[in-house]
Chains A and B, each alone.
Chain A
Amino acid sequence: MLSDPVRRRLYRYVAAAPEEVGRDAAAEAAGISRSLAAFHLDKLVEAGLLTVSFRRLSGRTGPGAGRPAKLYRRAEGEHAVSVPPRSYDAVGRLLAEVVENAGLDRELQAAARAAGAAQPDARADDVVAALRARGYEPFWDGRTLRLRNCPFHALATEFPALICGMNLALIEGLVPEPWAPAMDPCPGGCCVSLSKKEID
């Protein structure tokens, strides 16, 4: 499904956008015609990777308001591909359950902070790119960097205190000064946001 580079570009654009995306914007971002974009977007919907909704972008209602626009966003479901099959989600759930029951939050956070700090790309390069590479899908909300996706979504839903604490520690380890990650949950997104400390 995503082996086609045009389709991949479209999917990435829609998946990373903070809002629903219309055909025109997607076509422009992927550098293709509106009709080609529509064809590929609908294929992605058929495959369950995107979902669609209809809304009048003009904000008008009633007769003469025009047809509602078809808008796309990433489907909620998770897709993982591995050959041969592996079930790390089941392992993750079991491990989380044991760590939660043992009350090892602080040990997990220390390991996560160290794991983040051991990855040099965020220090050497662009923090936004480093976060994106880890699946966070960052976007700017004023001067705050919010993360649209939670790479640990399924586990975070089941073990929020444990997994969100781990996630914050991981990002704290990952990003260099003057970045200041904070627990700041946003609807539908990650529990962590980042801002830059003011340097006087």
Chain B
Amino acid sequence: MTEHHLAQVNIGRIVAPLDSPELADFVAQQPEINALADRSPGFVWRLVDDEGADATGIRPDGNDALLLINCSVWESVEALRDFTYHSDHLRVLSRRREWFRRSAEAHQAMWWIPAGHRPTVAEAMERVAMLREHGPGPQAFTFRDPYPAPARAAQL
């Protein structure tokens, strides 16, 4: 039995509105890449908007019409790493600068959640803020500095 799952959030500012020609390739590939995530080993859940297909309708910062959020839950860091870097998703990732502006600050974070929990947008944004403020730690970390899942004894 897995007691903890890995949550991950990724935020990014798109270079132009979603319905612009600049973003057309990105939008067109969303269904395929989301379907790939859904059937990847270790995938648990991902955040979707009211349309229910993906999270492109959500604006985690109401004042920023170009800031998108992606949030998902996985069984392990390895499962997420395999999908992110060792699947067809890499094809999209290598084109990230065509669609997303670079961020001087941390734009993603991972943290451990009790299995069954579904992170909210506010919770996810808080983890990004924690990483920005304190650097990597057990509460918010990255692929480059991963932290292990809490031990059973440490659970409340």
Contact = CB atoms under 8 A, between A and B. Distances in A.
Contacts of A18: none
A123 interface: no
A102 B102 contact: yes
A165 B86 contact: no
A106 B98 contact: yes
A172 B127 CA distance: 39
B16 interface: no
A32 to B, nearest CB: 38
Contacts of A182: 91
The size bracket of the interface on B is 10 to 19
Contacts of A164: 85, 90, 93-94
B142 to A, nearest CB: 12
Nearest to B143: A160
Interface string B79-112: 0000011111011011111100110100000000
B152 interface: no
B102 A103 contact: yes
Interface in A178-200: 182-185, 187, 191
Contacts of B39: none
B144 A158 contact: yes
A184 B90 CA distance: 8
A185 B94 contact: no
Interface of A: 101-106, 109, 158, 160-161, 164-165, 168, 182-185, 187, 191
Given A105-B96, A184-B91, A187-B86, 9 more contacts: A103-B101, A103-B102, A105-B97, A164-B85, A164-B90, A165-B94, A165-B95, A185-B85, A185-B87
